[in-house]
Amino acid sequence: MTLNAEEVVGTTLSANLPIYRLELTFKSAMVSVLKDQDAVVSLVSRYAVHQQPLTTDVAIEAGVSRFIPSAFGIDSRTVEEGKLSCQIERRIKTQNYLSKKADHYSNFSWTRLGIGLLFDYATNFGLAAKASVAILQRPNETSNQYLSIASFNTTQKETLRILESRTGGSKWTVKHISSVDLEHEGD
């Protein structure tokens, strides 16, 4: 295992885990780091998601056989045109790029992991980490697929009922608004 990080702050890691601090645009250095690695689990922030096609190319050049992109949120395959689709356009482009590369390179595959909305970062990222390990342990079953997982499923009404019960039992004022109206309100 190798950690490629631009910056690791406040983290205690195993002494046996090599850490490389590289700019994502230094292609030759990244190829060198990824040589002899079986997989890349990308954890770039949403501000660097647009660089995942470059990381994909580097991984392929280095001989990496599996790529798990950093796109652990909502299922971008089900998002219709609108404000939200603009927000996740980079994820959609990354997905299309990975699919194209997997079609072209028979020794390369990808798995996208959707964990839904980030309700609780610690729970969701812990779940994503466990799922990533499971994906890598089952390469044939998870090859070139989008997998959806959840630590729990709830509705807005269930969440409201819990919040009301935890804040003294009084009813909260609820305003019903359509997604389309909410988008217009945000403009």
Q: Where are the domains of the chain?
A: 3-151
Packed helices 52-62 and 27-34: angle between N→C axes, nearest 10 degrees: 50
Give pTM, 2 decimals: 0.77
Find the range with the poorest average confidence among 5-19, 56-70, 109-123, 131-145: 5-19
Helices (H), strands (E): how many in the chain? 8, 6
The tokens 């608004």 sit on which residue? 177
Mean pLDDT value across residues 143-162: 89
- Look up the CATH number of domain 3-151: 3.40.50.720
